[in-house]
Structure 1
Amino acid sequence: MKKIVQLMGGIALFALYSSLSINLLQAQSAVVTARPAQIDISAVTSESAVLMTLSGYSQDDARYRLYSGGNQYNCWDEANDEFVTSNSYANNPPVPGTPTTSTTFWILFQRGSNASTAASYRDRLGPAYSGNYQTAALPAAAEIAAPVIIQKSNVSFGTWTDFSVRYVVLGYDAPSGGTLIAAAPTALTTGDFNLIIETGTILNRIEVRDVMNNLIESVAGTWPSGISVLPPTGFSATAQSNTQINLGWTLNAANNGVLLAWSADGIFGTPTGTYTPGGTIAGGGNVIYTGTGNSFNHTALTPETEYFYKIWSYDGSEYSPGITTSEETYPDPTTTTLPYVQDFSGGFGDCGTFSVSGDTKQWLHSASGGYVYMNGYNSGELEEDWLILPGMNLDNYFNESLSFDTWYRFGNDDADNYFRFVYSTNYSGMGSPADATWTEISFTRPAVEQEWVSSGVIDIAGITGTNVYFAFKYHYNAGNYRSWQVDNINVNAGNAPALLATPTTLNGFTYEIGNGPSASQSYTLTGQNLQGSGNITATAPADYELSLNGTTWNTVVNLPYAGGQLTGQPVSVYVRLKAGLAIGTYNNQTILHNGGGVTDM
């Protein structure tokens, strides 16, 4: 290995390049346009709804199901006035409207055999309905644990009087806009419904729409009734680091101040009177904020710990119902030394995962195979999921290299659907890797499906940094999901004798004639795997001189070493332009280092 210190005065010019990629997408699509944030799945007959938009289909004859594995939500078939229990597509409801252009419609359903909040939409084309056409995963929804029921008799409808068909009733948390909280089909002939929400949830608008999403009536109000002080809305908690969670909310329409508390176990009492931060609520809860702001940063927390929060509005005499949320702090960043080996025999080990996009899929571990894998199949969303190795201080090593094994099956690769190996020198080791800068590293990929292939030995000696992270980035859109498996990661430092100079270039040595020598500059020298013991000699070029202390100057200096390293490394070497030189330029001159098995470095 050769590394040099160049002595020069120059300008480094860098060019930035960008590229434009054009993605060719399939015309047909099935998109989940809306799903309520809460769902009751306590009984086989529990009801809800989801809004779908289909477009660009090759024909209008299509039938659909909502399923999860071998289970399904039983969808309403208006033509036969029944919730369909059959899992045969030929017996399930037809898509209404014209999906060859575009159609948006509500699917009314009962829980059926799928006692889960997770499900996917899938359809097949007629007349045989034998091949899967479009699939889309339903967004996540929270299971209702403590239900509150709002019925037709609780809402003052004025214009909705036709009950001859089923409609969908929608509950929102704002008089306009807001979040869709719950949905329920109406009963035939009576229009009755059970709109079920979680205890503590407040609705401010209820809509009735037909299955084609046409608005029949919208009623503003407050449900459950009898609440004089409304709670804040949009309460959220977001982890920022291993010790901080940021909370945010919107004040109620009266702009009442709020009381914010946290709990380690999710148990909160009922507030009475006034509080100040640091106080406690009888029955549970530690007060961390009171006031009319809309955010609070909870700091000095324990890493990888879940924190529970509850917030109330307060008008000076009465508190609103409380709204809850929770969040977990990030774990401490993991680091490692070289050599590093990860064979995933017992799980992910010290590797971490992070899902940037896609709620239902993530990296998984195969206990039987001893590898990790990622597959976005059936997600219906952009899946961007990361497998991240622990941080490494590459400045402590020389001649580093790495290797790993990969395997794939299914899917397609292109500019927007890919599996990449990348590294970053500014990732914190916590939170979303999308916030950092990553550089791709090429590796040998399997040429055919279902074949384990080594990446080959990848030279990473040119990567420097005290906290370098390597990662696998999985990025695939619906319809292109590829299954990737990773195993046998090895990161090694070389064992050849080596010297590392930092920096590798010095410039700007000048003086006026008769006033030399120039001011000195310095570089540091570090050794690894040096052979035997003795001295490394540093030899200055003809017009420069060297020193180990900045006082005594020579053409050659000796740096003692033993045990494979320089004594006291890193060692500083000072450089200056000699006195008495004629007017001229003295660029591109090299300091050479020899000894310990290193020649002319």
Structure 2
Amino acid sequence: MTFAEATAIAGTSSQSSYNRFGDYSQTSLDPDGLTFWHTGQYCSSASGQETRIYSFQLPAGTPTDVSNFNATAVSTSQIDLTWTLNSNSNPVMVAWNTTNSFGTPANGTAYTAGNTIAGGGTVLYYGTANNFSHTGLTPATTYYYKIWSNTGSYTWTTGVTDNATTFSSGNTSYPFTLDFESSADYTTSFSPWTTYDGDAQATYQSSDATFTGEGTAFAYLCMNPSLSGWTAAQGDAAHGGSRCGMAVCPADASQSNDWFISPAMSLGTGSSFSLWVLSPKPSTWGNDSYQIMISTTDNQPASFTALSSLVEAPATWTQHTYSLSAYDNQTIYLAIRHVSTDMFMFWMDDLQFNSTISSSNAATIVSNPSSSSVCTGGSVTFTVSATGDAPITYQWQKNSTNIPGATNSSYTIAAVAAGDVGAYRCIVTNAAGADTSTVANLTLSTAPSITTNPVSATQCAGTNVTFTAAASGTATLTYQWKKDGSVIAGATNASYTISSITAGNAGSYTCVVTNSCGSATTTAAVLTVTPATAITTHPVSLNAYDSDDVTLTVVAVGSGLSYQWRKDGINLSDGGNISGSTTATLQITNVSPSDYGTYTCVVTGSCGSATSNGAVLTILTGVEDLEALRPDIYPNPSNGDFTIDLGQTPASGNYYVYDLDGKLLLWRMYKDATQIVIDLSGRAQGTYLIRIDVNDKTFFDRLILKN
């Protein structure tokens, strides 16, 4: 590596006596190619010497692309590329495309011939040469090229582009005709013929016909008079068959400039061109005019000169014939140019070239091989067909290199492997010449490979669960979910969701991913469904005497259950005569009137909570309380007012009214009373509980309200 002489660091003073470099030094280049190491004696004082070592790197130069990059067509099937390497003679990579669209090579990535660049471009060449010939191309086709320099470790420069168009080989089979019958109705594409809309104006519309594209800007359109309604309106039809070519004048009344251009025609002798023309409905718009144009270079309008003067198309189908003898044994392009001003339509049909070609016909490709993507181990066959004088020989190539023994019109690889990936083409040859097919790319399809397995889940009943799988492999990938080995109908996406799961959804779930190369199955994801917390047996109401022991029990299902007993809606805790307040069984020992109330249990689990029905604990104070001393309540049932007879002796105390859930609805104090009236009017009909404290006695009973 050579560097121009330059000052690295400018000195500020000279060294003298000590504090200077001494008698020996050495500078060497590190194996990394970037770092310089310097070793030298240094006099730090009048009496001391030492060795100092240091390193440095020169500033990196700006990476440069190649210069003088040129693409030059040299034949119908070859373009030569030339360039000058950059000043560092870095290796280069050349890629091509059929459009001027190229991706950016990934730094750190080595590319070889046949590789594709993400974003556009196929690699042709990598190395340090300054030229490359791109062969096997299609005649009269523009190819685009881009070249990058590798400045080290596959770091790529910005790149330089160029393009070239291969020579046209020209048609040699006559008569060469176009009757429009194979064209789609109202299409503006007529390959291999091309069009050019020189005026680029919206066209006239007509009430006599309705067709796709009417009123838009186009050069020529495939007209179907009958389908459009024109035949019924005017009586005009295509000359032969049901379709013809049509140009329409600009709607702004400017001159039409519409071109219908033939492919390249390699003429022999006695050459001519004929066509049938018509001006529909001339009584209204007049006769449209056209002109025959000729080019001997290419199909661009600027290259054409007039073969005829302006010619009117008559009111009836008429054949016009033009001699091309002046162009015998040349390759030409012919154009029919519509040139009317503020007329309307020009129709043409049954176009025909005639020429006599010598009996010597070079081998010519008529059917090219097709690109293919094949599974590993699968077979692939590339096929080409050609015309020309016999015998025709065939030679298949891979990445522009002959394949030994591949000398038939078809080439088969019985079991495709990774090493077979590449660009294939065939060269056909006879005594009169040779032709090269277009490239058919062989790529390798891969079977599915699971990259993400579904994950097992434990969830509560009633929730939603989603299983997801992901796989790599050549598109198109299909998915099929299974439960316990059985196909789940309709579960054909990468994710499978079950809404509001139940115990019946519990099981083992897998997904089978399939493409044309095979299938892969995920590991199983197990779904465990935890039941929602629910009470199956509720506590029951009890009557107990003073000093009795009572037990209330609840039975529930669910996971991770916990219990909390409540009295009249207030949490209980163990202590006194209460135990088991946080278990399934509540025990109350030595009951007394203060234990009267409604008892419920709240059961909580991992899947929610549930509250039991209320169980009413009634405390009986003795037989005499139940019989002789019990207050008399009437009417009961009642539609609102209840009278409680306390006896002949006035009494004092409190009374409490509860609903069956133990909720206190009414509390009153009374004094020196022999009767109490309780009004429950307006409340919902049903059974209510009443507690009456009479002096030192407590009584319990039920009130039945009927509306």
Question: Which structure is higher in RCO with an 8 Å CA cutoff and minimum separation 6?
Answer: 1
TM-score (norm: length of structure 2): 0.25
When normalised by structure 1's length, the TM-score is 0.29
- Larger radius of gyration between Structure 1 and Structure 2: 2
